[in-house]
Amino acid sequence: MPTVTRNRDCVVHMKSDSFTVALAPSLIASGWTGGSGVMWSDSGASDKFMVEQSDGLYGGMLLFGSDELSDKWTGLSDNQTVYSFATICTGGWVVSTVSFETYTWASRQAGPLVAITYTAGEKLYWSLRGLYTNTDEWSESGDPRAPNTFVVGRVVAAPSVTNNYYLTAQTNL
């Protein structure tokens, strides 16, 4: 496998559809990593397409993070948060990303931390924090919408030392 320079939160191997969306104020305030899941949000009287952090529902993923090191001291520095827009990705992408859950929902609540193991071919969902996960956090958390049947992709390669601990996924957003 060729070496992929991983200097971004989300590295694109195969591109699909993308377009610009407005960001909900809550998303701007909290920030996000590239590859994070977002869902559609009501933009009020505005006619803008607006997104907020996913809580298990899907709309797409954000291509670039809000504060990536690669954007420092370039024309992109703070661009997305200042102007309240970002690039959303929909359709079938193949990406490597740092935007995935590393510990189960239950262990993040009460500890001790229990690592999530990813395997090629597994289904992926958005977690309650808008990150890729192979577990149904709606069911684990007692969310009344459970079970989560919104599959957002499949694992292509699990995080490992050979891929600098990025999760590689094929999306179907």
pLDDT over 90, % of the chain: 71
DSSP state of 123: E
DSSP state of 147: S
- Please indicate, yes or no, if residue 72 is contained in any of the structural domains: yes
> Rounded to two decimals, what is the model's pTM?
0.90
Does 166 share its domain with 101? Answer: yes
Does 124 share its domain with 160? Answer: yes
Integer Rg of the chain from CA: 16
- Please indicate, yes or no, if residue 6 is contained in any of the structural domains: no
Does 126 share its domain with 143? Answer: yes
Does 34 share its domain with 84? Answer: yes
User: From CA 169, how far away is CA 99, in angstroms rounded?
Assistant: 11
Among candidate residues 59, 90, 121, the one where a domain is terminated: 90
Query: Which of 104, 103, 115, 12 is closest to 61 using CA atoms?
Result: 12
40-69 pLDDT tens trace: 998 777 788 999 999 999 899 999 888 776
Task: Give me the domain span that covers residue 53.
Answer: 16-90
Among candidate residues 56, 90, 124, the one where a domain is terminated: 90
Does 54 share its domain with 74? Answer: yes
93-126 pLDDT tens trace: 999 999 999 999 999 999 899 999 999 999 999 9
Q: How many domains does the chain have?
A: 2
Does 71 share its domain with 103? Answer: no
Does 85 share its domain with 106? Answer: no
Does 137 share its domain with 167? Answer: yes
Helices (H), 112-172: 137-141
Among candidate residues 51, 67, 90, the one where a domain is terminated: 90
Does 135 share its domain with 114? Answer: yes
Does 62 share its domain with 76? Answer: yes
Across the chain, mean pLDDT equals 90
- Please indicate, yes or no, if residue 58 is contained in any of the structural domains: yes
